[in-house]
């Protein structure tokens, strides 16, 4: 299945049906009176998250979603049929944006979450509704309310516990394949990965989800190489694993390039827990590896893991560090919030 994380859709709710002007006509009943029914309400446009989806590819082939109009009222006090709703089914983690692609309407992060995007128009009142003691035979009815039209954008941000960062060809896909059940495309050239991949990683009897995004380049935060969209896929991650290519002649500069992109992208990515690992250590000699490791630790200001996805070196240690960071995040989120009563405060 092809991956698509951004789609534009046109929505239109249903218009309400018109009310009916009608009078009862029966034998031996000269003054039957008004019996026009109300119009039916127009259908709504909903969006709903469902399990099992991880792409917006369906919205590439269908961009227009129109709910059904309500039917007009009829005589004999018959109300028109309500128009059928239409439901857009999207993956968990989808954001709904206004046409400007900046204003967030709703962020759908749970399975089964529903949100009303366009409400159908109410049906008009029939002339029976206007009957009163002073007007026994009203000859007017209301028209139904018009439909609502709008254009929205769907933007998918994958929900994962950990995210992989690095320049193109830093070994992210190899790492994901070595530690999870994912089988991303792997090759010895930049930009092998063109779409994000998810894998379930197991360590010490527990599991977590890891996201591998395509390699970032300088200027990614401005959209170069659509890097701003790739960074969006790791916004929800509890921890980021930054892989630095140990075979690169500019490994330290490569590290600073990614850090600068995170800073310029903004949001909370800069403050997100981040683990740094020197990758492809099996491809460099011990002396060069030790020197590069020391320089990278000075740049990071903390511990740097030494790993190799191909040779499966140091993977257990770094996975345990990721698991620990995820557990810390979960404890903070699940911790009971302190209330004034808990502090002993009394009015």
Residue 135 CA to residue 216 CA, distance in Å, equals: 73
Residue 339 placed within a domain: no
Does 186 share its domain with 116? no
CA dist 65 to 6, 84, 148, 239, Å? 17, 12, 12, 38
Give the residue from 115, 135, 156 where a domain finishes: 156
Does 276 share its domain with 302? yes
Burial status of residue 303 (CB atoms within 10 A of its CB: 0-12, 13-18, 19 or more): exposed
Burial status of residue 51 (CB atoms within 10 A of its CB: 0-12, 13-18, 19 or more): exposed
CATH code, domain carrying 173: 3.40.50.300
Residue 37 placed within a domain: yes
Domain that holds residue 71: 1-156
Does 325 share its domain with 193? yes
Name the domain count of the chain: 2
pLDDT along the chain (347 residues), means of 10: 82 96 85 91 96 86 95 94 95 92 90 94 94 90 95 89 86 87 56 68 89 71 56 83 90 89 78 90 89 92 90 91 90 67 54
Give the pair of three-digit tokens for residue 73.
């009222």
Characterize the bridge pairing of strands 86-90 and 45-49: parallel
Does 309 share its domain with 181? yes
Q: Which residues contact 158 (CB under 8 A, 6 or more apart)?
A: 54, 93, 196, 198, 211, 233, 236
- Is residue 291 within 8 A of residue 321, CB to CB? The reply is no
Q: What is the pLDDT of residues 200-219, one digit of tens each?
A: 888 888 888 888 877 676 66
Does 110 share its domain with 194? no
Residue 6 placed within a domain: yes
Does 92 share its domain with 236? no
Residue 309 CA to residue 268 CA, distance in Å, equals: 28
Residue 263 placed within a domain: yes
Q: Please report the pLDDT score of residue 127 as a whole number.
A: 93
Residue 168 CA to residue 172 CA, distance in Å, equals: 9
CA dist 87 to 40, 59, 101, Å? 19, 13, 21
Q: In what order do the strands lie in the sheet with 304-306?
A: 197-203, 206-212, 162-165, 239-245, 274-279, 304-306
DSSP per-residue letters across 266-314: -TTTTTS-EEEEEE-GGGS-HHHHHHHHHHHHHHHTS-EEE-BTTTTBS
- Is residue 37 within 8 A of residue 81, CB to CB? The reply is no
Buried b (16+ CB within 10 A) or exposed e, 151-185: ebbbbbbbbbbbbbbbbbbbbbbbbbbbbbebebe
CATH code, domain carrying 37: 2.70.210.12
Give the residue from 156, 174, 190 where a domain finishes: 156
Q: Please report the pLDDT score of residue 189 as a whole number.
A: 43
Does 189 share its domain with 151? no
Give the residue from 156, 173, 192 where a domain finishes: 156
**Residue 328 backbone phi and psi in degrees, to 5:** -65, -45
Q: What is the pLDDT of residues 253-268, one digit of tens each?
A: 989 988 888 888 876 7
Residue 297 CA to residue 304 CA, distance in Å, equals: 6
Q: Please report the pLDDT score of residue 192 as a whole number.
A: 47
Residue 173 placed within a domain: yes
| Bridge partners, 154 (sequence order) | 7, 96
Query: 3-class SS at 218?
Result: coil
Does 147 share its domain with 180? no
């Amino acid at each position: 299945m092809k991956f698509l994380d951004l789609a534009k859709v046109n929505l239109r709710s249903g218009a309400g049906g018109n009310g009916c002007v009608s009078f009862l006509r029966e034998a031996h009943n000269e003054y039957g009176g008004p019996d026009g029914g109300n119009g039916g309400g127009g259908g709504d446009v909903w969006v709903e998250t469902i399990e099992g989806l991880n792409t917006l590819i369906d919205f590439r082939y269908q961009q227009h979603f129109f709910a059904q109009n309500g039917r007009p009222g009829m005589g004999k006090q018959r109300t028109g049929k309500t128009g059928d709703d239409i439901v857009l089914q999207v993956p968990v983690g989808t954001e709904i944006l206004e046409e400007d692609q900046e204003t967030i309407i709703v962020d759908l992060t749970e399975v089964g979450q529903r949100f009303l995007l366009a409400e159908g128009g109410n049906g008009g009142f029939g002339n029976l509704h206007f009957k009163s003691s002073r007007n026994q035979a009203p000859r007017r009815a209301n028209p139904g309310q018009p439909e609502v039209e709008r254009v929205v954008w769907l933007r998918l941000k994958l929900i994962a516990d950990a995210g992989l960062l690095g320049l193109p060809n830093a070994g992210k896909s190899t790492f994901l394949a070595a530690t999870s059940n994912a089988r991303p495309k792997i090759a010895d050239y930049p930009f092998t990965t063109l779409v994000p991949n998810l894998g379930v990683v197991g360590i010490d009897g527990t599991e977590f989800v890891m996201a591998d995004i395509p390699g970032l380049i300088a200027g990614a935060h401005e959209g170069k190489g659509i890097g701003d969209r790739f960074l969006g896929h790791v916004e929800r991650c509890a921890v980021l694993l930054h892989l630095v290519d140990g075979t690169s002649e500019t490994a330290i500069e490569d590290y600073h390039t990614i850090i600068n992109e995170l800073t310029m992208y903004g949001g909370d990515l800069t403050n997100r827990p981040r683990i740094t690992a020197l990758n492809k250590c099996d491809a460099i000699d011990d002396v060069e590896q030790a020197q590069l490791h020391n320089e990278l630790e000075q740049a990071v200001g903390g511990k740097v893991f030494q790993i190799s996805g191909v040779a499966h070196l140091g993977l257990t240690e770094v996975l345990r560090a990721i698991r620990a960071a995820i557990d810390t995040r979960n404890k903070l989120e699940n911790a009971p919030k302190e209330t004034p009563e808990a502090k002993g405060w009394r009015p």
